[in-house]
A and B are shown apart, each in its own frame.
Chain A
């Protein structure tokens, strides 16, 4: 279903509104939030005024136009990123309509507007009703269609008590009746928060974004000084050379130099990167409660993963039969299969399947009339079958070793030492031994094994390469846990874990400077979710868990955590790469503009001056050089919008390898690209006769 939501980067219907928004964002009140673009806009204004009232040259007009384009392109990148979020918010908002709620007071129901509900109110929802607000099922059980937020059409069960009690406002009850206790105030519900996030309207800058903004503002200030002082340096040089440079070192030219030097590329794309990072997460059906959490996800170096469902398939499967001395393997398999025929648990079914696969046993020749199934009970801790053959009843049982040993002991049998050894061995391997007996004789052992998911070991190896440690959390005993940990390739495990253990583990890892992420769904996970740096609550979980975490996974998939970490890393990488690119660009721009400014300085006899030697690109004329640099500076923003929205390509590699690659592409590329780009634009300007 994530496929469905995936849209091309530039949907046609998004472009027109984004262009409109790009102009709207020229409002100084919104520009001032971005110091780099604010300076650029001031420069554009001054150049326009210069053209309008002072020097009406074609060159000045072109500079002014391209400076405005620079600002507009930056605005456009932000608008398109927001537009993609808005499109999603629109579909969410539809679910919010003007729902009515059936407020329950005592025994009486009154119909009120959903917006009038308060925290703690009880409302009734029956099949067909929209749930009016976020809350918890106080009474009853119902199937709910949550496709509005998850995109998943299969209904889910929500019931009072337990770990599936949370309901979300805007979802629809399909069957049955539930009473919901509202847990959030109007306007602060899950969908409201999601809308706010995807729209980026109240987007708070993240800590790293704030720091980067300070850096960019600082660099802008430095270059402002460099260019401002250059005017006076030029005056002195002109005076010293006995030349008049005032016609060359003009205000539009200095503004061009300034705009080229200040980090417009990253300054223009910064907020688009942030918004689209959030957006990418939402496309993976994860709602982050803040941008801060997305950023923290990139820093995670310890993952706490529940064993069941994440690392293993969730159920134990029969893996092998170990017959007792004197018993044929096939006989054991056949008896085991019989004992499991009525066992509808996944374990039971897996025994039937294993017997069929290994010995081609079908168990279809038994007459159900003469059999009596014995279900598992907590008292006997065994299950099995009673067969009536020739008037005699044969009891076949399978169960925990001690329970079966007791059973045969009462009938005068005993467990052979070999079987006992086998039981211990399986325990050590991390499996669960099931002993099978027929009356007083032990037939052997079934080896039940936790099946580790395919590919998970490789995934953990990747994570390790990225510097992320995985810790498996399981309720199993330490022996079993160790065996599964070894098989799955996790770095550490906590056996017989209680929710308090999780909390303690998170605290101790954080104490040592690690950043920890975990997933959880139960109410007892809430403290750990709140303590973790990234706490991902399952959407299917309780309201308490969803409140405690800083992300909610709408798919309730335990492996989602890994994708979340990748998205966070990708966001930071994109930011760093484009910053490096932007700063590296400056070298070429200096070499375009400085020689252009001072080409005639100390020139003798009307020729070119010594500084034209610095014109390493061989740009045609000073005007053309300056204009080319300004144009390159503007259109590079447009070229990089797709990258900002999509993020730089992420690969699960170690830091050193990623760095080498990104430096090569964005650092070295950032040095070289503008030399080529400016030269090409210069050639085009010449060819087109623009200068």
Chain B
């Protein structure tokens, strides 16, 4: 790494840390406002957790059906300049689930599968509202944690509209314009055919890309307009667009983490969670960069350029890979299959933790809060009081739900991977052998069950087996967490708030951050240690010994 590489890493982190507090305060204001424009159109009456959860089901259920229908019927709908046929049923189910769950796993190639109408009216809409759903659930949890002796968690519809209208839309509009200014395409015209210098004919896909790219980055969606995602020049044309898109991955989730402190009435509480996230982010960046710049035994001192985006270089590909897996974004500017085994393992590990290192918009925060609840419970007892978080007693119900939310996605990853590495339907999609093949499957399940959506590439996932398995994984990974989170929110809201004293377990101290990191590593991470050993770690060790797959 040269000096400019270092400067870029540091500046990126600095901008992120500097913007987060402002965003945190802004988000808090958006979600605590009442009435106004939104109040005139939306009934903002308070909901208990069951009604809130029911609204989430209804809204997302409708979303699933709508996205599915758009894909199945696109050949007879307008705005299909390339005349694309209907999407296969299993791919349509997979894609519908994928976009509704904010995963944006893409088993298909965007420009050759989806019409402009499907992209805009179905997919881009879900890019907004799935992110807004995540925010709403996180806000409901924060309300539950900070309100006293009530069942009220706010109103889902109001939260959904406010999140979309005041946060996602304005940020996306501005960002789309900036991206379009940098050269990202934004047009309704159909593909153009050009003759290359060699005289060959090439079709250049076009479409309303800039508007989707903006929200795909900001809303931790990650589903690209084009198949190769942000590695494609029309999606990511310049170094500036690359840097901005990279920053946009983490910007809103980082701000959201700090809104926790605003809700809690103590900014330190928000910074504590933020710090734990940052520890993982910096650690992951460190290991990945070390591995990528460490060089192959055959070429010591040479960075691993294979498969990286040549326009941006290794550092930008590595930062992106870490950011996109830390947040549940999943967009890529280089294929993760081309990362060194260790850097690929780091990406996978970040996702395995449950997308809590800033994570998905809203979902990253509530995932982290779940781990904070577990930490408070395990370590909080050590001060000689039954555990409390923000003055709320953490009891059987909260633990039950928190463990459930941690258990479900992990179970899907482990069982799904185990099934896929022995079933012919699972193995036939592999492109690589040995531990790398194992990593391909493990990565796909991990990415889906934690709603990341990035792909390792290599695995042909557009088969009925993988489309349905991964759709199931995405559903469990999303709603298997959302419902326990809302149940916790409802349960906590009904409790009293014990005032803090010197006998209280402090959840805003560096020691707590350390404990939180420890619990995440041991409870969230160690589960996957054997799997990582048999995938990326053994591959890394083999490459050091001179073998590749």
Query: Using a CB–CB distance below 8 Å, which chain A residues touch chain B?
Result: 207-208, 210-212, 214-215, 218-219, 221-223, 225-237, 240-241, 261, 295, 298-299, 301, 464-469, 510-515, 568-570, 572-573, 575-577, 579-580, 583-584, 586-587, 590, 594, 598, 601-602, 609-611, 613-614, 650, 654-656, 658-660, 662-663, 666-667
Contacts and interface: CB of A to CB of B under 8 A. Distances in A.
Nearest to B541: A610
B404 to A, nearest CB: 7
A610 B527 contact: no
A362 B526 CA distance: 81
Given A207-B396, A467-B502, A226 B527 contact: yes
Interface string B463-506: 00000000000000000000000000000000011110111111
B377 interface: yes
Given A656-B509, A656-B511, A659-B506, 16 more contacts: A207-B396, A211-B377, A226-B531, A236-B421, A301-B501, A301-B503, A467-B504, A468-B501, A515-B498, A569-B384, A580-B379, A583-B523, A590-B526, A598-B533, A602-B538, A613-B541
B418 A659 contact: no
B89 interface: no
Nearest to B521: A587
A380 to B, nearest CB: 50
B382 interface: yes
A577 B398 CA distance: 20
B438 A299 contact: no
A233 B386 contact: no
Interface residues of B, number: 69
A261 B526 CA distance: 10
21 contacts: A208-B381, A210-B396, A212-B399, A221-B407, A223-B527, A225-B527, A227-B530, A235-B422, A295-B386, A298-B385, A299-B385, A301-B503, A572-B385, A583-B522, A594-B529, A594-B530, A602-B538, A610-B538, A611-B541, A655-B385, A659-B383
Contact of B518 (A234, A611, A659, A667): A667
A407 to B, nearest CB: 52
A513 B498 contact: yes
A650 B503 CA distance: 13
Given A232-B422, A610-B538, A655-B506, A587 B526 contact: yes
Nearest to B422: A232
Interface in B525-539: 526-531, 533-534, 537-538
Interface in B388-405: 391, 394-396, 398-400, 403-404
B459 to A, nearest CB: 14
A235 B503 CA distance: 51
A236 B385 contact: no
A602 B414 contact: no
A655 B421 contact: no
A228 B395 CA distance: 30
A572 B533 contact: no
B378 A569 contact: no
Contacts of A210: 396
A233 B407 contact: no
Nearest to A209: B396
B518 to A, nearest CB: 7
A229 B396 CA distance: 28
Interface in B353-371: none
Given A232-B418, A232-B421, A514-B499, A214 B396 contact: yes
Given A215-B377, A240-B435, A590-B526, A226 B414 contact: yes
Contacts of A609: 538
A546 to B, nearest CB: 26
A209 B336 CA distance: 44
A615 to B, nearest CB: 12
B375 to A, nearest CB: 10
Contacts of B515: 663, 667
A573 B382 contact: yes
B129 interface: no
Given A467-B504, A611-B541, A655-B503, A237 B438 contact: yes
Interface of B: 148, 374, 377-386, 391, 394-396, 398-400, 403-404, 406-407, 410-411, 414-415, 417-419, 421-422, 433-435, 437-438, 496-499, 501-506, 509, 511, 515, 518-519, 522-523, 526-531, 533-534, 537-538, 541-542, 544-545, 547
A277 to B, nearest CB: 12
B438 A468 contact: no
A298 B534 CA distance: 46
A225 B433 contact: no
Contacts, number: 228
A656 B515 CA distance: 13
Contacts of A513: 148, 391, 496-499
B78 to A, nearest CB: 47
Given A512-B499, A513-B496, A569-B385, A225 B410 contact: yes
Top 7 nearest A-B pairs (CB, nearest first) are A467-B503, A576-B381, A569-B384, A218-B403, A467-B501, A610-B541, A236-B421
A384 B332 CA distance: 99
Nearest to B542: A610
Contacts of B537: 611, 614
B502 to A, nearest CB: 4
Given A225-B414, A226-B527, A208 B386 contact: yes
Nearest to A205: B396
Contacts of B530: 226-227, 230, 233, 590, 594
Contacts of B504: 467, 655
A229 B531 CA distance: 9
Contacts of A659: 379, 382-383, 505-506, 511
A25 B545 CA distance: 52
A208 B394 CA distance: 9
Given A215-B403, A240-B438, A587-B526, A655 B383 contact: yes
Nearest to A257: B530
Contacts of B398: 211
A227 B395 CA distance: 29
A398 B384 CA distance: 52
Contacts of A662: 382-383
B499 A237 contact: no
B381 A572 contact: yes
Nearest to A213: B396
A36 to B, nearest CB: 14
A207 B433 CA distance: 51
A594 to B, nearest CB: 6
A210 B531 CA distance: 31
Contacts of B529: 226, 590, 594
A586 B533 contact: no
Contacts of B386: 207-208, 295, 298-299, 572
A666 to B, nearest CB: 7
Contacts of B522: 583-584, 586-587
B377 to A, nearest CB: 7
Contacts of B414: 225-226, 228-229
A219 B403 CA distance: 8
Nearest to B441: A236
Nearest to B411: A225
A211 B394 contact: yes
B377 A573 contact: no
B410 A240 contact: no
Contacts of B395: 207-208, 211
A224 to B, nearest CB: 10
B381 A579 contact: yes
Contacts of B527: 222-223, 225-226
Contacts of B501: 301, 467-469
A686 B379 CA distance: 37
A664 to B, nearest CB: 10
Contacts of A467: 501-504
Contacts of B545: 610
A298 B388 CA distance: 13
Contacts of B404: 218
Nearest to B433: A240
